[in-house]
Structure 1
Amino acid sequence: MAKRKVQRRARKILGEEPVALVWCEIHKPIPTPPKDIHRAAGKGRLTSRHHWSWYAAAVIFFFVVVPVILIDTLGRKLEKTMSGADRGRRSGPPPAPPEAQRSGRGRAPEDDREPDPANGVFDGDWNLTAGQLLLRWYSHSPSPKRLVMLARDRICVAASPRRRMSPTKADDFLSVTEFTLEQARIEGEAGQPRGYATFRLCFADGSWLEVGRLSEPEDADHFLRTVSC
């Protein structure tokens, strides 16, 4: 549950007690926008900025762990190759493959579905409200986390300027954007499995944006119960 200072900060921004609030993130990679649209929106970041420890761990992984894995894998393959060649000399040529294999029968059917260019993140139109919000998602904060707050007459999206933050303790978040209930609504279902719960910000122009990774179970459950009523 969000601490008192988070609730106090939310009241200060909204000017009233929030009906519900929850920390959330874009739970899938942001798709790549067209270059001209990205440029017109300020060419902002589309990924979060990692802490320095992440880069240190990445360097260690690629220059220490990866070479060890490659050497081990190469050694295993070489051992199998030599072992297979030895068995081949002893047992003679392998039997011919069955007819079913030669004719290609038994293969799994190919998936003809076309990939979703929006990756299920939003409706796919970068010029509408959801797309424009997505283009500026990281311009206000390097952290992927956003606080969505419901008031009686509006929806407020806020962010903390810090790269690393605790959803229960962060009290330095600022309002990023607000929407009246005529401009936007939230669609979500109560009782979703913990860790997989999502909801959508749906806008009056028909666009939508889906978020997940809801922090703090009590806040998330209350938020989803509120929006599903």
Structure 2
Amino acid sequence: MANDYHPYRTHRRRKKTRAGRLGLAGALTGALGITAVAATIVIIRPGGDPGGEARPTLAGQGSVEAGPSVPSPDAGPPLNFTTPEGYGYSLAAVEAGTDPAPLGATKPPPPGTTYAYADYILTNNQRRPVLLDYPADLFMPKAQVPSSARERCMPQAGIPDDMCTLPNRSEVTARIGGAEPPVDENGTMMIPAGATYLVRIASELPVEDGVSADDLRLFVWNARYTSDLTGIELAFPDDAG
């Protein structure tokens, strides 16, 4: 009777042996596969140094430069603004003037004209990132805008009737006190918590050469920042007394 079970036992041992060989072959194949994957990871690791540390860049979390770090300039009294989304900003006017290229290379203005600009301090006064936005707008006397551009110089509610704003653009030109640069969060530029920047706003259409710094004003008038349709002026240091 014992012999009756012997072939069965032998068959099981053979199955185990065959299974063991298959398992070993599978393990070797898996090990080779892992080695190949590991080799691939080393090849594509940033920096080209298999022994170095990889520094992955997370999509949507890159940053951009925002000019040099500078000391805080003299400025007028700061004013605080809050948007309906809860973003909070502090703004303070620094200076105004004219320049044929206030934001670097641009189309030269026609003879007898120049471009207007103003600088102001923009601060995220919250403990979280806020949208990089430019609340202030540059206004000039409508009488000192060339007739060719006067139709593009728009009055705004709550601003003196003799003043208007031309198409313009704003840029962060410096970081104040070592502030972190703006951060790109999924395609949206954000100001880090507590960061302070120097912003320049410049007209894209010319004004007459005779425009002086005293003629130019900075107002916050957009309904996102002021709900009573009244333009709020940012006083320059000399005006603040």
Q: Over alpha carbons, which structure has the higher Rg?
A: 2
Q: TM-score, normalised by structure 1?
A: 0.22
Q: TM-score, normalised by structure 2?
A: 0.21
Structure with more helix by fraction: 1
Which structure has the higher relative contact order (CA within 8 Å, separation 6+)? 1
Structure with more strand by fraction: 2
